[in-house]
Structure 1
Amino acid sequence: MIYTAETTIPKYALEPDSATGNKFFRINKNDSVLHYRRSDFLVPHRKDYYFFAFVKKGSSRHWIDMTPYTLKDNTFYFTVPYQVHLKEETAALTGITLSFTRDFLAMDENDFLKNLPIIQNPYNGHELNLNEQDLAFVEDILEKIHAEYHAKHDWQHTMLLSYTKVLLIYLSRLYMEQFSEVNQFPERLLLKKYLSHIEDSYIRLHEVAAYAQLMNISAGHLSEVVKEQSGKPAIVHIHERLILEAKRLLYHTDQSIKEIAFKLGFEEASYFNKFFKRLTQQTPLQYRSAIREIYH
């Protein structure tokens, strides 16, 4: 389904659990065919929360942004807020899904959780392979979270946060092993903060100097450290985020190039066209035509 200029890709919040009333955190076990309405398929949408899925057995096909994923057994999948999801086909699924909001992460002290690699997702990954040891650990901690979520004990929230912290740390280790191609510097705090600011402000701020001012450091220092820690110039991270969002809108909506340019903070469509072509070797219209010809 392609959305018209008069509409936008819908964004869904985490619905409060009807049984517990929890609106920040949800865990569910799946052990059968998932039932969707026909209208749910091929409809792009965004989630404004983190969504994790441990797939014990499954073969459904889904898209995250412009990448298709056919689910594999004993594999862990994850997405971060505002990525574009699309269901292409479904099948029997056995596993556990976990959803939580930014507000849930904010309840942890010192912003530790929101700075973990599995949450920041600097390499734009969505799939983690699990060996036998990983499988046993992940399945066990998810079972503990599920049991605690449905129990009525004192300090339940603290227990859920503690179990989730252990899970996210473990998954972050796997993330760095499977996605990082270079040895990472301890914590990479400045790079993480920079990427987090980009995620929050890429539509409004397009220059490295603007982010440096936001972070109370010099543009030169920011550029030097980001290049050292990521292997990419600081401006490239801003450009990549803009291009990703542009591709989402070009693929999933029927908005004009001018409308997309304005939505992404460009004052002139002509400049957006030059920017997009310089980074992708295609004009926005050429990209839209080519990607739809391949996947529609």
Structure 2
Amino acid sequence: MKKDKQPVITSYRLEDLLVVPGLMIDVHYKTAGDDHHHPHVDLTQAHRHEFYTLAVTGHQRSLHMVDFRQVEMPPESIFLLSPWQIHLPQDIILVSDLFLISFTSEFLPPGAPALPVCMEKAITPDPEGYKEIWYLCQRLLQEFNHRKALQEPVLQHYLALLLTLFTRYLPENASSKQLQPELLTRYRELMEVHLLSWSSCGDYARALHVTTDHLNEVVKQETGQTASALLAARRILEAKRMLLHSTHGIKEIAWYLQFNEVTYFNRFFKQHTGQTPLAFRISSREKYNYNPE
């Protein structure tokens, strides 16, 4: 198997953030000026997580850049950051009333609700629903900080209940894995892991132990797109992320995404976006008044 390239944008595993190694969950209530993470982890710069993070604000607002969107979290709101999304907190040092609950998909118990593939904006529950959610965050924190017998299953079930209440307030059309067949879910997961080393649908079909035709049939039935179109869209998404957030040149990004020639990368990108990579980089940085350099 070909070894994946080192990330252009810093990527963190949950193990990198845990103060006490062990459980694949981290529950933290952020207060003014605190920093519960390891010294080598810099969450003030653009980065991505290989895990979920559920953020629940108290009486303060919080502002973030997620991929290509400014996400404002009003007081008493909730936002779920999905694995591999590019995240840049814009006021994390100032915010002092915020729950951050990070966990891997493997930590969730059977029967836990399906989670959104990505959220467009924060949600604000009704007061009674928010009160329940905040209380569960407090219970999670208390259980996390006190090492008692059966701690892991208790945390798992508190988390499952919290996420169930959270999904109650999602828009009805929220994109969710719940309606996806297992093959499509696994295909998406493999793309996240092997995007920089596997460039054809055949690579994924072999890993999934199905034919390319069968993979294509399932993907098209569920998404309306071919498997190759879904893969191309994912490569474009990664290109956009790097063009906005990294300091690498167009040629370096093309090579990183397995385009042998920068001219082919330029054509591929323009075909799918209507812009050249350079034009996208300039316009997106102007739009968000953001330059990582």
User: What's the TM-score bracket when you normalise by the shorter of the two chains?
Assistant: 0.7 to 0.9
Mapped partners of 1:109, 1:31: distance in 2: 30
Q: Is the 8 A contact 1:16 1:23 kept in 2?
A: no
Q: 1:83 aligns with which of 85, 94, 101?
A: 85
- Please state if 1:289 is matched with 2:292: no
Match of 2:251, SS?
helix
Q: Tell me the equivalent position of 2:214.
A: 221
Task: Tell me how far 1:21 sits from its aligned partner.
Answer: 4.8
1:113-152 aligned within 5 A: 117-118=114-115, 121-123=116-118, 125=120, 127-152=122-147
Q: Tell me the equivalent position of 1:205.
A: 198
Match of 1:57, SS?
coil
Q: 1:263 aligns with which of 253, 256, 260?
A: 256
Mapped partners of 1:76, 1:125: distance in 2: 12
Q: 2:187 aligns with which of 194, 208, 212?
A: 194
Which deviates more from structure 2 when the two are superposed, residues 124-133 or residues 229-238? 124-133
Q: Tell me the equivalent position of 2:240.
A: 247
Structure-2-length-normalised TM-score: 0.80
Mapped partners of 1:8, 1:206: distance in 2: 18
Q: Tell me the equivalent position of 2:102.
A: 99
RMSD: 3.3
Q: Which residue identity is paired with 2:198?
A: L
Unaligned runs of 5+ residues in structure 2 are 1-6, 36-41
Q: Is the 8 A contact 1:79 1:126 kept in 2?
A: no
Q: Which residue identity is paired with 1:283?
A: T
1:154-173 aligned within 5 A: 154-172=149-167
Mapped partners of 1:180, 1:10: distance in 2: 26
* CA spacing shift, 1:289–1:232, aligned 2, 3 Å: same
Q: Tell me the equivalent position of 1:54.
A: 56
Task: Tell me how far 1:232 sits from its aligned partner.
Answer: 3.0
Q: Which residue identity is paired with 2:277?
A: P
Mapped partners of 2:47, 2:240: distance in 1: 14
Q: Tell me the equivalent position of 2:4.
A: none
Q: Is the 8 A contact 1:78 1:126 kept in 2?
A: no
Mapped partners of 2:142, 2:100: distance in 1: 14
Mapped partners of 2:98, 2:91: distance in 1: 17
Q: Tell me the equivalent position of 2:72.
A: 70
Quote the sequence identity (%): 26
Q: Is the 8 A contact 1:16 1:24 kept in 2?
A: no
* CA spacing shift, 1:230–1:151, aligned 2, 3 Å: same
Q: Is the 8 A contact 2:61 2:72 kept in 1?
A: yes
Mapped partners of 1:140, 1:8: distance in 2: 39
Match of 1:61, SS?
strand
Match of 2:9, SS?
coil
* CA spacing shift, 1:282–1:192, aligned 2, 3 Å: same
Deviations 1:40-92 (CA, angstroms, capped at 9, x unpaired): 79732233432211112222322112211122122111213332222334544
Q: Tell me the equivalent position of 1:30.
A: 30
Q: Is the 8 A contact 1:117 1:175 kept in 2?
A: no
Mapped partners of 2:51, 2:118: distance in 1: 19
Task: Tell me how far 1:179 sits from its aligned partner.
Answer: 1.4
Which deviates more from structure 2 when the two are superposed, residues 169-178 or residues 239-248? 169-178
Mapped partners of 1:185, 1:142: distance in 2: 24
